[in-house]
A and B are shown apart, each in its own frame.
Chain A
Amino acid sequence: MNWFSAHATVFVLAIPAFGAALLAVLPGYRATARLNVMFTGLTLLSALTLVFGRPETGDFLLVDDLNIVFVILNAFVGFTTSVFSASYIAHELDTGRLTPPYLRFYHAMYQVLMFGMNLSLLANNIGLMWVAIELATLTTVMMVGIYRTHEALEAAWKYFILGSVGIALALFGTIIVYVAAQPVVGPGLDSMAWTNLILHGAKFDPALLNLAFVFLLLGYGTKVGLAPLHAWLPDAHAEGPTPISAVLSGLLLNVALHAVLRFKMLMATNAGVLAPGPMMITMGLVSLIFAAFMLYKRRDIKRMFAYSSIEHMGIITFAFGMGGALANFAGLLHMTMHSLTKSAIFFAVGHIAQVKGTQRIAEIRGLTVTHPLLGWALVLGVVAIAGLPPLGIFMSEFLIVSSTFARDPLLAIPLVFGLLVAFGALFLRLNGIVFGEPAGSTAKAEASYLPMIAHLALVLMAGIYLPGPLVAWFQNVAKLLG
C-alpha cells in the first residue's frame, strides 16, 4: 500500500492518459463505455490511496492536503459520471443524436479531460498547471460541440473564443509571476514551482504580484465562470451532453478555482501586496446576485442549473475571499457539496431530458406523477442546492453566512439577498417542473439512477453527520489557505 500510494500520482495521471490512447483506437461503444468506467474507477482507487500516504513532491508534481481534496473529489465525480454517461450515451446512440465514431472520440476525450484536470490539480509548476487547464478546456470545447447542431457549435465557439482569451490572460499572469520570482529564486524551472514560490513569496515584488493576480483572477476566473466572465458557461452546459455538463459544473470549475486558490495562497505569503480578498469578494457577490436574477427568466432547464452553478461559484469565491479558517472551511465544504449536488442534479436533468425529449422547462410538468423517483430526486437535489436544512449545502451556507455576519455584517446583506433571490427563483421553477399537471411522455428512463442516488445520499449524510476526521482534515486545509 505504501509503495502504491508513493506512486499514486503517477497512476492518477497515467491511467487516464493510457485510457485515452486506448479508447481512441478501440471501436465498439459498449466496450469503450465499460472501459471508460473501468479507467475512471481505477483512477479513483489510486486517488484514494493518496489518503494513506503521499509521494514526495517532485519538480513537476506536488501533493498536499489542499489538492488531495480536489483530486479525490475529481476522481469520484469523474467515476460516477462515467457510470452515468455509459447508459446515457447508449440512449443518445439509440436516438441517433450521436454516431459510434463520435462516441469513440467522446470516450477518448473524456479520459483526456480527466487527465488534464488531474494534472492541473497535481501540478507543482505554474506553467504545467496552465497547460493542463488549457488542455482540459479544449477537450471540453470539443465535447460541447459534439452534437454538431447549430446551437452546440455556437456554444462551443463562444466557449472557445472566450476561453482562449482567458487562456491568454492567465498565461500573462503566469509569466508575470515568473518575472517576480526569477530574481529571487533564480532562472529556470525552480521559479515556477509552487513549493519554491510559497517558500520565497515574501521576497517577491508586491506590485508585480498584484498585477499577476489581476490577470490570473480574470484568466482562471473565466473558467470558474465568475460574472462578468461567465458568458460561455450557460450555453456550454445547455448544449453539451449532460455528463459533460455534470463534469463541467462539478469539476472543471473547481479545478480553475483550485488554481485561483493557489495564487491566493501565494499572495497571502507576501505582506506588501494589496489583499486579494476584496477582489474575490466583489466578483463573488456580483456573480451570486447576477446569477440569482438570471435564474428567473430561464426556459431551458440545463441552462438554469448552469446559472445556479455560477451562483454557487460566486458563493464559494466569496467565502475564500473572506478568508479566515472558518470561511475557508465553509468554502471547501460548500465546494465539495456543490460538486456532488450539482452533478446529481445534472444526472437527474439528463434522465428527464431523455424521457421527456425536451429541455424546455415549460414542457416538463408534473414529474412526481409521471416519474416519481426522478421527480423526488430532483426535488431533493434542488432543495439541497437551494440550501435548505438538513442537507449538506445548508450547513456550508450557514457557516458562510454566519461567519460573514460575525466578521462584516455589511457584506452579509448582499450575500443573504442574493441567496434569497436565487432561492425564490429555484422554487418558482421547480414547482412547475415537479408538481403541476403532468405532461410529456411517461416513458421509463434507461439510464441508471445509481450515481444520482449515491450523490444525493452523500449530500444528505454530510448534512446530518460529518465524520470527525474529514472535518479535522478540512479545517487543516482551511488553515493552510490562510
Chain B
Amino acid sequence: MLAGITTVLGVLYALMEHDLKRLLAYHTVENIGIIFIGLGLALAFRANAMQWAAALALTAALFHVLNHMLFKSLLFFGAGAVLTATGERDMEHLGGLIHRMPKTAFTFLVACAAISALPPLNGFVSEWLTFQAILVSPQLPQWVLKFLVPAVGAMLALAAALAATCFVKAFGITFLGRPRSPAAAEAKEVDRWSLGAMFVVAALCMLFGILPGLVIDALAPAVQMLAGARLPVQAEVRWWSIVPIAESHSSYNGLLVFLFSAMSALLAAALIHRFASRRFRRAPAWDCGFPDPQPATQYTASSFAQPIRRVFGTHVFAARETVDMPAPGEMRPARLDVRLRDLIWDRLYAPVAVGVEYTARRLNVLQFLTIRRYLTLVFFSLIILLVVLAIWR
C-alpha cells in the first residue's frame, strides 16, 4: 500500500520537476514503488502458501528491476548527453534538440516509451505481469488485503498514466519544439561511443519487450528459490508469447504486437506514399493564424504540467498559483509564480524523518560511553536474563 502511495507521489513530483535529472530521480522513486508492490504481493501470497502467485508477483518485480535498470540508465545517458551538449539541465531552457541530436533523441524516445509502459517495450511487460499478479489477489483470505490490493492496482495504473504524461513532457519539452535558449540552439550530437552504448541499451529494451519469455525463464531459478514455485516455462509457448497462468486466462505476445504495429504502420505509410501525393512544403507553423516567431511563446514544462497541477495540486502539493496582472498602462510584465509545498512531504515523511533523527541522536549517546558503562550494560543484561531464568518456573 505504502508502495502504491510512494509510486504515485514519486511520479507526481517528477511531473512537477523542471530539472531533467531530478525528474528522473523522482521517477526512480516511482519505479522502486512498483517493484515493492510486486515484492509485497509476493510476500502476501507466500504467507498464504500460494506459491505460483508469489512466483508471478516476484517475477514481475524482478523483471521490473531489470527493466528499470535498463531504461533508467538509458534515460540518464540521454540526460547526460543533453547536459554535455547544452550544459542545461532545466528543461525550460531546452527544446528542439531533436534537430540537433536526432540519434540521442531516438534512444531517449525509446526509453520514454519503455518507462511509460507502452507496448511493445519492456516496461509494459513487467507492468502487465504486475497487473496479472494483482488480478489473482482476490484469492487472498485477508480482508484488509482484499481492499488494499485493488486500490494499489488503481494507484499503479494512475502512476503509469502519469508517467506517460511526465515523459511526454520530458521528451516534448526537451527535444521537440523550438530551442528556448542559444545553448539548446547549437547543441552537438554526442560522441560515437556514448551513442553506441545508448543504442545497445535501447536495443535491449526492445528485445526484452518483444521476447519477454526469455527473461522470465532466466529469472526462474531465483524465483524458484524465493517463492518456492516458478512460472511455467515460456520458451515453448507458441510464437514466443508469455502465459503466466493459463492461455485462456491471459497471455501477451510482444513479438506479434510489435510485428503488427510495424506492419500496419509500414503498410499505411506505403499505401499513402503509393497513392497519395508525396509532395509537401515547408511553411511557418500555422498556429491558428497567429504564429509567434518567439520561442518564448511555446508551451513550457510548467505550463504543460499545469492542468495536472490543477487537478492534483491542491491536495498533494498545496500548490499556490499567484498571477499578478499589471494594471492597464502599467509597464511591467505580468508574472505567474507557482509555489509548490509538497504536503505529503510535510505531513508524512518529514515527521518520520524527524523521529528517526531524534531516536538516532538519542541512541547515539551510546557511542560515547566509558568502558565501565559498557560493562554495566553487559552486567545488567546478564542480570535480566538470570532473573528471567529464576522466575521462569
Contact = CB atoms under 8 A, between A and B. Distances in A.
A and B in contact, CB less than 8 Å: yes
Interface of A: 157-158, 161-162, 165-166, 169, 210-211, 214-215, 217-218, 222, 228-229, 231-232, 234, 274, 279, 290, 293-297, 389-390, 395, 398-399, 401-402, 405-406, 409, 421, 424-425, 463-466, 471
A228 B377 contact: yes
Interface string B186-229: 00000000000000000000000000000000000110011000
Contacts of B35: 389
A293 B47 contact: no
A218 B381 contact: yes
Contact of B374 (A162, A169, A406, A465): A162
Contacts of A296: 356-357, 360, 364
Contacts of B356: 293, 296, 421, 424
Given A297-B361, A389-B39, A406-B49, 6 more contacts: A157-B371, A214-B386, A231-B369, A293-B363, A389-B62, A399-B226
Interface residues of B, number: 36
A227 to B, nearest CB: 9
B81 to A, nearest CB: 17
Nearest to B222: A464
Given A294-B366, A389-B65, A465-B221, A218 B382 contact: yes
Contacts of B109: none
Nearest to B360: A296
B297 interface: no
Contacts of A405: 43, 46-47
A23 to B, nearest CB: 32
B359 interface: yes
Interface string B353-384: 00011011101101101010011011001100
Contact of A402 (B47, B360, B377): B47
A70 B360 CA distance: 34
B65 A390 contact: yes
B385 interface: yes
Contacts of B155: none
B130 to A, nearest CB: 15
Contacts of B374: 158, 162, 231-232
Contacts of A463: 222
Interface of B: 35, 39, 42-43, 46-47, 49, 61-62, 65-66, 221-222, 225-226, 356-357, 359-361, 363-364, 366-367, 369, 371, 374-375, 377-378, 381-382, 385-386, 389, 392
A255 B357 CA distance: 34
A161 B361 CA distance: 26
A215 B367 CA distance: 25
Contacts of B39: 389, 398
A49 B39 CA distance: 39
A217 B392 CA distance: 18
B65 A214 contact: no
Interface of B is mostly: helix
A230 B233 CA distance: 48
B360 A294 contact: yes
Contacts of B357: 296
Contacts of A471: 225
- Leading 4 A-B pairs by shortest Cβ distance: A296-B360, A231-B374, A228-B377, A297-B364
Given A390-B65, A395-B222, A297 B382 contact: no
A17 to B, nearest CB: 32
Contacts, number: 104
Given A162-B375, A395-B222, A214 B382 contact: yes
A146 B382 CA distance: 32
A475 to B, nearest CB: 11
Contacts of A228: 366, 377-378, 381
B226 A229 contact: no
Contacts of B47: 402, 405-406, 409
Given A169-B382, A395-B226, A465-B221, A214 B46 contact: no
14 contacts: A162-B378, A165-B378, A218-B385, A228-B378, A228-B381, A231-B369, A234-B367, A290-B366, A294-B367, A296-B357, A297-B364, A402-B47, A464-B222, A466-B225
Contacts of B369: 231
Contacts of B225: 395, 466, 471
Contacts of B363: 290, 293-294
B133 to A, nearest CB: 15
A466 B221 contact: yes
Contact of B371 (A158, A389, A421): A158
Contact of B389 (A211, A231, A389, A465): A211
Nearest to B362: A293
B349 to A, nearest CB: 10
A405 to B, nearest CB: 4
Contacts of A389: 35, 39, 61-62, 65
A158 B364 CA distance: 18
A293 B360 contact: yes
A395 B65 CA distance: 14
A398 B226 contact: yes
B41 to A, nearest CB: 12
B378 A222 contact: yes
Nearest to B54: A402
B389 A401 contact: no
A401 B375 contact: no
